[in-house]
Structure 1
Amino acid sequence: MYRPCCLWFLLGLAPLFLLMAAQTRAGQDDPQRLLGFADSLLQEGEYFRAITEYKRFLFSYPSHPRALEARYKIGLAYFRGQEWEEAILRFREIVEAYPQEEIARDALFMIGEAYYRKGDYPSAIRVYQAITAHYPQTETATKARYRIGWSLLRLRQWEEAATQFAAIEEQSPYYPSAQTLMQEAKKGETLPRKSPLLAGILSGLLPGAGQAYNGRYRDALVAFLLNGAFILGGIEAIRAGNEALAGAIFFFEGGWYSGNVYGAINAAHKFNRDVEERFLQGLELQHHSILRKLGSREIPLLHLSWRF
């Protein structure tokens, strides 16, 4: 008696369970919910989980009106996750597949940004120049012209960067920043630098002198003492009539001496790179607010047009 009652009870509840499961699945498969969940992951910095959800959305709804937006956000998630090559690939797919859509120029700009972030400034410049050539009267082109100036700064092409910033139109929101950067770029030529040639010559004449010229006084002392010790040891070996030992000492001294000269030259180059990098980082800090504004339209939601 007990078992049949339980069986009939369970059978009676089965349709209710099926209905609840169907409703739950429908909620999970709702395209807006799927895309909203992916967006929340993207905003929370869960970039690769967001990519999975965007791909799930595209698999389930390949013809949905927001499918192109999902494709763009996959590229954006890779970009924010610093997967530059994958981001470039995803944005390029949009540019090639939807060249007439407004989102294509945003994707093209993000390709330039990916090249810029990975340090490939010549490629970034080529992309930005393509934007200014194909979309000359757009906000994206204005951003691209400004970004070309920054790319030239990063290439240490100071005069070219100053010229680029000088060409920014007065009505552009980047004009005040560009005017300041034009003046700052000219200072790049006059930054305090060390001559690698002079550093090498000084260390050739007196071991450690090149390092001292570069401000590396500890290295200068070590180079002077080590080379001095080898030279004195070789001289003493000659005086003692031990030419074999003297030859061995001077052989090793030749390596230390060459390393001393090479180290001085390399230290001068490093000094110059550090000076230029601090200068550029100072400019980025000074123009931080405008640079943030530059990337504030990474997700173009308001001006998308869709193909049905």
Structure 2
Amino acid sequence: MSRQAFTRFKKPSPFLLFVLFSFVKPATLVAAPESTILISNDYFKKTGDAYYTRRDYESAHLHYLHLYRMIPDEQSASRLFLSSLRREDERMLESLLYRPQPDAGFTYSYLSVYAAFRLQRYDLARPIIESFETRNGTKTGSNRSGEAEYRRMQFLRGAEILDLRRFDDAVLYYSELGRIDDATGKRSLMLAEDLRQHQLVSRKSPWLAASLSAVLPGAGQAYTEHYSDATMAFFWNLTFVGGTAYLYDLERSADRPHTGSIVTGIIGLIFYASNITGAYSSAHRRNVFMERRFAEHLRRSYFSTDLIERESGIEFTRPLE
């Protein structure tokens, strides 16, 4: 082979380079060692942790999501749970809950149960709790760390009772949990004491509201502090009563059948009855709202994401320098 031909052979054409790098994956050109993959995983973990600790949850979520797709283990899933909780990404939380980690440790189980409660998917939370308690309930006697985690899970389990607004049952549950003198026991006693305040929550009697509206339309709605409903109820009942009386007088003066006044009176009676039932349901809705606000106050105090993150025992890596 001549020197000129050898030179042409060593120097590939630009077209060949374009095809090579456009349609062939880099991994097929150079075999990436396993250490490169490990460094890549470590990078996404550390960088995601750095973003998370700076409260840049959007950036942290992107890194955790990439990490989870590369290594879908309980550590990456736990981090993805946290970032999704911060972003209130219900679709991602539900997707993670439908892909459970078998025989997972405390951190993953704790965060997944909390995520299920946030979604009010108690059907997904109960199997996780039962599986964790079955695996760890018999080990607590000789493992103080395991016992603390077991009791933290029990504390979180009571959140379902609170969400269902069964306040009396919740008082009994947390009072029983507070019998042991540890951090969880002390917090349980504090929650039980706060739960007893539910008896002081302002409530309105539905029957009294209905009775008031039967006497004076709109009075029951005013009693339940729904003043716009009270105004509308009074206005429409007064309109139909006045309209019926006016039509009746016109028909009597004209010696005509009282068809119009009868129809208007029937419609007025329907509005009058709906005014009474509306006052009853108005009182019920207000009571439910007050109970939910009370339960939400307790959730923010005892089941906030900050507290759950701290109690989960998740360890963030040192940020990259």
Q: TM-score, normalised by structure 1?
A: 0.72
Indicate yes or no: 2:283 matched with 1:268: yes
Indicate yes or no: 2:51 matched with 1:50: no
Indicate yes or no: 2:250 matched with 1:232: no
Amino acid at match of 1:232: G
Partner of 2:296: 281
* Alpha-carbon distance between aligned partners in 1 of 2:307 and 2:38, rounded to the nearest angstrom: 31
Aligned residues: 278
Partner of 1:179: 189
Amino acid at match of 1:50: H
Q: Is the 8 A contact 1:87 1:114 kept in 2?
A: no
- How far has the Cα of 1:73 moved from its partner? 4.2
Partner of 1:294: 308
Partner of 1:30: 37
Using CA pairs under 8 Å that are at least 6 residues apart, name the structure with larger relative contact order, 1 or 2.
Answer: 2
Amino acid at match of 1:70: S
Indicate yes or no: 2:150 matched with 1:141: yes
Residue deviations 1:14-73 (CA, integer Å, cap 9, x gap): 9xxx9xx889x7799532223422553473423663355225523xxx9xxxx5533554
* Alpha-carbon distance between aligned partners in 2 of 1:155 and 1:256, rounded to the nearest angstrom: 34
* Alpha-carbon distance between aligned partners in 1 of 2:172 and 2:301, rounded to the nearest angstrom: 20
- How far has the Cα of 1:248 moved from its partner? 2.8
Partner of 2:95: 86
Residue deviations 1:176-228 (CA, integer Å, cap 9, x gap): 22112112212213422112233223223321121021122343233112201
After TM superposition, the structure 1 = structure 2 runs for residues 52-131 of structure 1, keeping only pairs within 5 Å, are 52-58=65-71, 69-74=75-80, 78-80=84-86, 81-83=89-91, 84-90=93-99, 92=100, 94-95=101-102, 99=103, 103-121=104-122, 124=125, 127-128=128-129, 130-131=131-132
Change (3 A) 1:260 1:192: same
* Alpha-carbon distance between aligned partners in 2 of 1:125 and 1:68, rounded to the nearest angstrom: 18
SS in 1 for 2:98: helix
Change (3 A) 1:196 1:126: farther
Structure 1 spans left out of the alignment, 5+ residues: 303-308
- How far has the Cα of 1:126 moved from its partner? 6.3
Change (3 A) 1:300 1:32: farther
Q: Is the 8 A contact 1:124 1:151 kept in 2?
A: no
Q: Is the 8 A contact 2:206 2:281 kept in 1?
A: yes
- How far has the Cα of 1:111 moved from its partner? 3.1
Change (3 A) 1:173 1:266: same
- How far has the Cα of 1:151 moved from its partner? 2.5
- How far has the Cα of 1:89 moved from its partner? 1.5
Structure 2 spans left out of the alignment, 5+ residues: 15-20, 141-145, 252-256, 317-321
Q: Is the 8 A contact 1:143 1:294 kept in 2?
A: no
Query: Segments of 4+ in structure 1 off by > 6 A?
Result: 25-28
* Alpha-carbon distance between aligned partners in 1 of 2:288 and 2:196, rounded to the nearest angstrom: 17
Superposition RMSD in Å: 4.0
* Alpha-carbon distance between aligned partners in 2 of 1:145 and 1:41, rounded to the nearest angstrom: 30
Q: Is the 8 A contact 1:149 1:162 kept in 2?
A: no
Change (3 A) 1:228 1:279: same
Q: TM-score, normalised by structure 2?
A: 0.69
Which of 201, 206, 229 is residue 216 of structure 2 equivalent to? 206
Identity of aligned residues (%): 20
Amino acid at match of 2:196: K
